[in-house]
Amino acid sequence: MRSEGKREKRRLTISRAFLRWLLSIVAVGFLASMLFTWIHQTGTSNNNAVTLLRINVQDVRQDVIDASDENLLKLTREIAAELNSSVRVNSDTLKQMLQIHDVAEINLIDRSGIITATTMDEFQDYDMRSGKQSAEFMTLLETDTKEYVQSYQPTSSDPSLFRKYAAVTLRAGGFVQVGYDGERFRRDIDQYVINAAKNRHVGQTGCIIIANEEWNIVSDRYGLAGSNLAETGIWIDRPTMPENEVFRAQVYGEDCSCTYIFTEGYYIIAVLPENEIILERDSSLRMMGIMEILLFLVLFTVIFLLVKYLVLDNLGKVNNSLSRISDGDLDEVVDVRSNAEFSDLSDDINSTVGTLKQYIADAAARIDEELALAKDIQESALPSVFPPYPDRPEFSLYADMETAREVGGDFYDFYLLDDNRLAFLVADVSGKGIPAAMFMMTAKTVLRDYAERGDSPKDVFTNANAQLCGGNDADMFLTAWMGFLETDTGRLRFVNAGHNPPVLIRKGKSVFIEQKPNLMLAMAEGMVYREEQMQLEPGDMLYLYTDGVTEASAADRQRFGNARLLEILSGRAGDGDAACRETCDAVRKAVEAFAGDAPQFDDITQLCLFYRGAQPEESAGGNCRELTVDAREENLPEVLAFVRACLDETECGEKERKQTGMAAEEIFMNIAGYAYPDKDGGTVHIAAETGRDEIRITFTDSGVPYNPLEKPDPDLAMDIEEREHGGFGIYMVKQAMDEVSYHREDGYNILTVRKKRAGR
């Protein structure tokens, strides 16, 4: 029942989600449709209004022009009839007619288009073809046209003078032209204009307003004749407001769209209220809104029901099965087959789950193999042969690492820097698994490289930190403790980079080594690390560890802690390699017993060092000779004589004597040639230790720092001409001697070579 309720709740949740989306889409569709309708209807209404305004103003304009033309033609016909009945006509005759008919101008034009008589003396003998305005009337002479009338406009001879001209042909040939000015023009048609404005409506509530050239109203619906046009609320600036263009104005206190035309000396203005313009749009919107609401409701209901019954219910069944699969039940089978699509989906999911189960099994096996290989690689990178230096009686050493996972981030390392210096360290990389293991390998290699090239402990950490910070995109870091032990004196130089303090076991008492830890490695660039010193005494034991020891947790989350560690280590004694191994085993067993069934919290890494101190030479007849000479080539015979004298004290064969002499010659000549580039030069100190089995020769100079072991070996397969210069001498030394080591200390280059007697 509880499972069924959970499935029902999930199904309803999907339905609600679809319902919300569908409702949102329908709402957006409705709003978009209404917005489109509003934009379209607004544009349509505005276009209709513009068309209506222009049609009305054009109609009134045409009516005014027609009335004006008819009035002027009527006068012109009367004057033409009088001229047709006259025997002789001259300018005086025309001037008499001018007074009788009250017109502004009368011209008589012959068949050639020349004015032969006129009421305007300056036009006498004027060729009508010579002016653009007058040339229009030549159509009466060139075609069958009997009458012609021009619009009211400025005259060519005087642009400030407005006149309207009409012409009628005469029986005797030619034609008579009559013109009247604005005053007579308006007197003739004012009444018509007044009636045209009063009787015309623009739409249902719009109107026509007519004003003369002085912006005085001639006619309007509200009886403002004689008033200035501005009293209606209309202002026209002809330079910036072209004719027939629609502009907005508040006319008679109401927002209106307007347009105008100037014709025959009148401003004809059509006015249509905005309310009437948008009335049609609002009606269309209301009707469209009602229809779309009904349509969208029907569509919404039908779509939701179809999707619910055809998709959502079946999808809920599929999702319930997928939920069980995602919870880890890979044996769940999807069986929804109401239609072909869901049947295919069920088969695909079941097939995918089957493939996934096989992939998981294969991947698990492959990961186990790869992790096992990674663990082998990691363990092979750590020293694993104990005792590591059975021929070194000064110390014993043991270390081990137990990872919390297949691979870990802890590591230990140790190596001899030369005959008298042992480097050893324990480190812990942040994180676990493969990334920590990869960073661990990098850090181990970097630390060893800087140590073996002769850097001091503090310089090893400073240089390693700079290199590890570069390209550390994963922001990993590590804690580390590293010490350099002088095996003959017990002097220990060490650096702590945020690591747990080691435990010193001396005369049965265990204490943490007091120290000032530095910042972890790879945490921040530019760090300079401090080193400290202490003196180990013969019989001392040094125990290094990672926090997997002290932070191991029991089932009750209690930690192992420092106090338990000191308690276990107290009283630890003994000599030899077995004592170091037993100490590490005792700590590991104590941690396991404390943790019980709780899983291992972290990697556990331990390193134990027992120091015996320098031991007396076992070889009989051993001796040590020393020689100090100026580093000049002419002192080579003295150096070789010194080496031969030392070799005479051993039982070396002739081959060993030649190889040792060659090595001594090469090293001394190299120091003499390059160690002291200034003219004053310096000295070379040569110490030879001879024994029954071997000879060890140490060359010490205070010249420029130089480690010849860093020079790569020459490629002997190349021709001599192509081979890089240098490096062959030290290569021969390394081939001839059993051991060659270098380090720089306190400003001195120290190079030691060792040669064993054949058969030893």
Residue 621 banded pLDDT, cuts 50, 70, 90:
very low
Distance, in Å, from the CA atom of 648 to the CA atom of 28, rounded to the nearest integer, reads: 107
Distance, in Å, from the CA atom of 501 to the CA atom of 535, rounded to the nearest integer, reads: 16
Task: Indicate if the pLDDT at residue 2 is higher than 70.
Answer: no
What is the per-residue pLDDT for 1? Answer: 45
Contacts of 462 by beta carbon, 8 Å cutoff, 6+ apart? 527, 528, 529
Task: Indicate if the pLDDT at residue 619 is higher than 50.
Answer: no
Task: Indicate if the pLDDT at residue 504 is higher than 90.
Answer: yes
Tokens of 498: 């945020």
What is the per-residue pLDDT for 181? Answer: 81
37-176 matches 387-611 in fold:
no
Predicted confidence (pLDDT) per residue in 326-350, tens digit: 887 878 888 888 788 778 888 888 8
The answer to whether residues 203 and 276 touch, using CB atoms and an 8 Å cutoff, is yes
Distance, in Å, from the CA atom of 411 to the CA atom of 450, rounded to the nearest integer, reads: 17
Find how far residue 10's CA is from the centre of its chain: 38
Give the mean pLDDT of the chain: 84
Which is more confident, 753 or 338? 753
Instruction: Provide the percentage of residues in the chain whose pLDDT is more than 90.
Output: 34
Instruction: Tell me the domain boundaries of the chain.
Output: 37-176, 185-275, 330-381, 387-611, 623-756
Residue 372 banded pLDDT, cuts 50, 70, 90:
low
Predicted confidence (pLDDT) per residue in 18-33, tens digit: 777 778 887 887 788 7
Task: Indicate if the pLDDT at residue 113 is higher than 80.
Answer: yes
What is the per-residue pLDDT for 112? Answer: 92
What is the fold, at CATH topology level, of the domain defined by 387-611?
A: Phosphatase 2c; domain 1 (3.60.40)
Contacts of 91 by beta carbon, 8 Å cutoff, 6+ apart? 117, 118, 119, 121, 124
Query: Which uninterrupted H or E stretch holds 257?
Result: strand 254-263
Residue 681 banded pLDDT, cuts 50, 70, 90:
confident
Give the range among 304-313, 449-458, 504-513, 579-588 with minimum mean pLDDT: 304-313
What is the per-residue pLDDT for 443? Answer: 93
Instruction: Provide the percentage of residues in the chain whose pLDDT is more than 70.
Output: 88
Residue 699 banded pLDDT, cuts 50, 70, 90:
very high
* Over residues 619-633, mean pLDDT: 73
Residue 755 banded pLDDT, cuts 50, 70, 90:
confident
Query: Which uninterrupted H or E stretch holds 309?
Result: none
The answer to whether residues 439 and 413 touch, using CB atoms and an 8 Å cutoff, is no
CATH number assigned to the domain with residue range 37-176, chosen from the 4 options 3.40.50, 3.30.310, 3.30.450, 3.30.70: 3.30.450
The answer to whether residues 697 and 688 touch, using CB atoms and an 8 Å cutoff, is yes
Residue 620 banded pLDDT, cuts 50, 70, 90:
very low
What is the per-residue pLDDT for 667? Answer: 92
The answer to whether residues 536 and 611 touch, using CB atoms and an 8 Å cutoff, is yes
The burial of 292, by beta-carbon neighbours within 10 Å (0-12 exposed, 13-18 middle, 19 or more buried), is given as middle
Q: Which CATH architecture group holds 185-275?
A: 2-Layer Sandwich (3.30)
Contacts of 355 by beta carbon, 8 Å cutoff, 6+ apart? none
* Over residues 655-661, mean pLDDT: 87
Bridge partners of 634, per DSSP, are none
Find how far residue 444's CA is from the centre of its chain: 36
What is the per-residue pLDDT for 554? Answer: 86
Distance, in Å, from the CA atom of 145 to the CA atom of 94, rounded to the nearest integer, reads: 23
Give the range among 133-142, 155-164, 168-177, 488-497 with minimum mean pLDDT: 155-164
What is the per-residue pLDDT for 205? Answer: 85
Residue 618 banded pLDDT, cuts 50, 70, 90:
very low
Distance, in Å, from the CA atom of 100 to the CA atom of 98, rounded to the nearest integer, reads: 6
Residue 626: DSSP 8-state: E
The CATH code belonging to domain 623-756 is 3.30.565.10
Strand-strand pairing, 532-535 and 509-512: unpaired
Q: What's the Cα-to-Cα distance from 110 to each of 76, 81, 144, 150, rounded to whole Å?
A: 16, 16, 16, 19
Distance, in Å, from the CA atom of 207 to the CA atom of 186, rounded to the nearest integer, reads: 21
Give the range among 137-141, 309-313, 434-438, 610-614 with minimum mean pLDDT: 309-313
Query: Does the pTM of the predicted model rise above 0.85?
Result: no
- 3-class SS letters over 371-436: HHHHHHHHHHHCCCCCCCCCCCCCEEEEEEEECCCCCCCEEEEEEEEECCEEEEEEEEECCCHHHH
Predicted confidence (pLDDT) per residue in 431-446, tens digit: 777 788 888 889 999 9
Task: Indicate if the pLDDT at residue 66 is higher than 90.
Answer: no
What is the per-residue pLDDT for 379? Answer: 67
Predicted confidence (pLDDT) per residue in 152-209, tens digit: 888 877 887 888 899 999 998 899 999 988 777 777 766 677 776 777 788 888 888 9
Give the range among 145-154, 348-357, 615-624 with minimum mean pLDDT: 615-624
The answer to whether residues 639 and 668 touch, using CB atoms and an 8 Å cutoff, is yes
